[in-house]
Structure 1
Amino acid sequence: MKVVFAGTPEFAAVALRAIHEAGFTVPLVLTQPDRPAGRGMQLQASSVKQYALAHGMPVAQPLSLRTDSKDPERAEQARAAHAQLLALDYDVMVVAAYGLILPRSTLDIRPCINIHGSLLPRWRGAAPIHRAIEAGDVDAGVTIMEMEEGLDTGPMLLMEGLPIEATDTTGTLHDKVAALGARMIVEALHKMAAGGLVATPQPDVGVTYAAKITKEEARLDFALPADVLARKIRAFNPFPGANGVVDGVAVKIWHADAVDGSGAAGQVLQADAGGIVVACGGGALRLTELQKPGGKRLAAAEFLKGFALAGLRFS
């Protein structure tokens, strides 16, 4: 089978690597345009583009695939991409965290299947891994689905779950889900080639939406219960990084555990080598890894050498 691949971040690059190593021909890779990144804000190619170029795969980076865009440049690029796909000899398009909307005109050219990082219909949308951890779900997983114009509403082709460990952050769970998705998409393509891939409509019950993560919601409200805050800290690690303001400084909190304790919400109850214990709306949080603006991520004992927290309060 000949597979056009559309994806952008590392999650997608893991899948592209698996498809390539399984021996499928990839006549075209679609990925988002290079973006400024790093302290120097230099243009940086996506993880998918880097892999594709390293393995001799043709790459296209249209700003949009919507030929009806009101932006002339985007519309022109979309028309060029559409013409390229129409002229291309391929069997299926695989989409993984591409970041652009595929219009009906694209979906109608060839079958399009998507690697989605949740057990649909739970957590349709942009941030399923973050939201699963934040909500306290016990399982994550991957659904391989047919694409349609709705937001992750298409029929399901394959589904497999994996447990969310108590220590999982979005970073660690991302890697597990990406590896699972890569294995499953290769299985799906082999089954498709053999004519054995069966589509099942998504159920109408259990639908939830995983809204895109914003930096604003990473500011912790210590009036919330400690277990809720501990999940948020794990969910926002590595991006955007949960934080709390103490003594006028926004401190990022990378690791914390819910513990027993009581006091005014945000009050630092203990600050020593064992951790920084902060009272919450219910229970307390023991902060064990923190970071000042412009500084490094430090264990609590090291952090306290440069930032005395005893007696202070997180606002």
Structure 2
Amino acid sequence: MKMKTKLIFMGTPDFSATVLKGLLADESYDILAVVTQPDRAVGRKKEIKMTSVKEVAVAHDIAVYQPEKLSGSEELEIIMSLGADGIVTAAFGQFLPTKLLDSVDFAVNVHASLLPKYRGGAPIHYAIINGEKEAGVTIMEMVKEMDAGDMVAKASTAILDEDNVGSLFEKLAVIGRDLLLETLPGYISGEIKPEPQNHEEATFSPNISPEEERLDWNKSAREVFNHIRGMYPWPVAHTLLDGNRFKIYEAELTDGEGTPGQIIEKTKKSLVVATGSGAIALKTVQPAGKPRMAVTDFLNGVGRQLEVGDSFGQ
């Protein structure tokens, strides 16, 4: 009977949970423990919520460790004593200490970009914002430097206009899961030889800062459209209206020209805003102090006073 490969899995969001479920369904692997970020307070009620990976682990009665910082923690010593053959990470959100990497035969990461492009914590956001035609997943060896390890395998998919961060995360999670399960046996056996990255071609995608959520109406309609999609469903793009934050969840490209940020068309059902080149029609918005709503509801309510010629961003 073939011995199972003993793994420690590290990850946090839905993307990671999809990968973990794939490993759990494969009889080749024994998940000894899961390491995930600490539970956080979410929403207006600040309710403590388990991470997606923890939910999967608890459902399968797997030990869970949640150090605020893995390096130097008590949990690190416990994890290293478990006798794992290897580590698999996917959107974990922390660096792995060198002594942990040295304690196992292998450590690979499922990273949601086509490396060496978009190393860092927000590769899907930046791929959409920057207007990339495709996104993908790279299985790579873990090293101390962020996302700089040798590449085991890659797979890609087209980025469509209807895609946003949420939909692309779901697509890439499945692609990453399947790619990992397809290539991990060959990697462990030595049949698949990892390839070094070209570090000179590396680009970076750090976590989105609050300043980057702000829309720049001077950019083209396509760039503004991509920015909105690249912030949806989190952290959500915003602009200003009468000096107050105004969130824009969804929009679509449309025809029209005018001063950037200016309303150039308003009906009971549509609100069209000019950009530096072209225009966008708002679809789902959230005025300051109000819930998220369809633009038709906004125009029938607090947005009734808006007129053509009024401007966002001021």
How far does residue 193 in structure 1 lie from its aligned partner after superposition? Answer: 4.3
**Equivalents in 1 of 2:123, 2:240: separation in Å?**
27
Q: Report the AA paired with residue 92 of structure 2.
A: Y
How far does residue 257 in structure 1 lie from its aligned partner after superposition? Answer: 2.4
Residue of structure 1 in register with 2:65 after alignment: 60
**Equivalents in 2 of 1:204, 1:194: separation in Å?**
27
Residue of structure 2 in register with 1:108 after alignment: 102
**Equivalents in 1 of 2:85, 2:247: separation in Å?**
47
Residue of structure 2 in register with 1:212 after alignment: 207
For structure 1, the 5+ residue unaligned runs are: 68-77
Residue of structure 1 in register with 2:18 after alignment: 14
**Equivalents in 1 of 2:48, 2:249: separation in Å?**
28
**Equivalents in 1 of 2:80, 2:262: separation in Å?**
62
Bigger shift: residues 11-20 or 262-271: 262-271
Which digits, 9 at most, give the CA deviation of each residue in 1:13-42, with x for residues without a partner?
A: 111111001122101111111111122212
SS of 1:106 mapped into structure 2: helix
Residue of structure 2 in register with 1:271 after alignment: 266
What is the alpha-carbon root mean square deviation over aligned residues?
1.6
Residue of structure 1 in register with 2:49 after alignment: 44
Q: Which residue, out of 109, 116, 125, partners 2:120?
A: 125
SS of 2:190 mapped into structure 1: coil
Q: Which residue, out of 145, 162, 178, partners 1:183?
A: 178
Residue of structure 2 in register with 1:87 after alignment: 81
After superposition, the Cα gap between the structure-2 partners of 1:299 and 1:43, relative to the gap in structure 1 and judged at 3 Å, is: closer
Residue of structure 1 in register with 2:9 after alignment: 5
**Equivalents in 2 of 1:116, 1:280: separation in Å?**
34
Residue of structure 1 in register with 2:162 after alignment: 167
Question: Structure 1 residue 284 and structure 2 residue 279: aligned?
Answer: yes
Question: Structure 1 residue 310 and structure 2 residue 307: aligned?
Answer: yes
For structure 2, the 5+ residue unaligned runs are: none
Question: Structure 1 residue 258 and structure 2 residue 263: aligned?
Answer: no
How far does residue 274 in structure 1 lie from its aligned partner after superposition? Answer: 4.9
After superposition, the Cα gap between the structure-2 partners of 1:170 and 1:42, relative to the gap in structure 1 and judged at 3 Å, is: same
SS of 2:93 mapped into structure 1: coil
Q: Report the AA paired with residue 142 of structure 2.
A: M
- Counterparts of 1:64-83 in structure 2, within 5 Å, are 64-67=69-72, 78=73, 80-83=74-77
How far does residue 135 in structure 1 lie from its aligned partner after superposition? Answer: 0.4
Residue of structure 2 in register with 1:74 after alignment: none
**Equivalents in 2 of 1:271, 1:113: separation in Å?**
52
**Equivalents in 2 of 1:115, 1:40: separation in Å?**
33
Alpha-carbon contact 2:268-2:300 (below 8 Å) kept: no
Q: Report the AA paired with residue 147 of structure 1.
A: M
Alpha-carbon contact 2:152-2:187 (below 8 Å) kept: no
Bigger shift: residues 204-213 or 135-144: 204-213
Q: Report the AA paired with residue 313 of structure 1.
A: S
Q: Report the AA paired with residue 61 of structure 2.
A: G
How far does residue 247 in structure 1 lie from its aligned partner after superposition? Answer: 2.5
How far does residue 285 in structure 1 lie from its aligned partner after superposition? Answer: 1.6
Runs of 4+ in 1 over 4 A off after TM superposition: none
Which digits, 9 at most, give the CA deviation of each residue in 1:168-221, with x for residues without a partner?
A: 111111110111111112123222344323110012343110021122221212
Q: Report the AA paired with residue 42 of structure 2.
A: A
Residue of structure 1 in register with 2:136 after alignment: 141
Question: Structure 1 residue 244 and structure 2 residue 219: aligned?
Answer: no
**Equivalents in 1 of 2:38, 2:294: separation in Å?**
37
Alpha-carbon contact 2:247-2:286 (below 8 Å) kept: yes
Bigger shift: residues 149-158 or 267-276: 267-276
Q: Report the AA paired with residue 203 of structure 2.
A: T
SS of 1:113 mapped into structure 2: strand
Alpha-carbon contact 1:272-1:300 (below 8 Å) kept: no
SS of 1:209 mapped into structure 2: coil
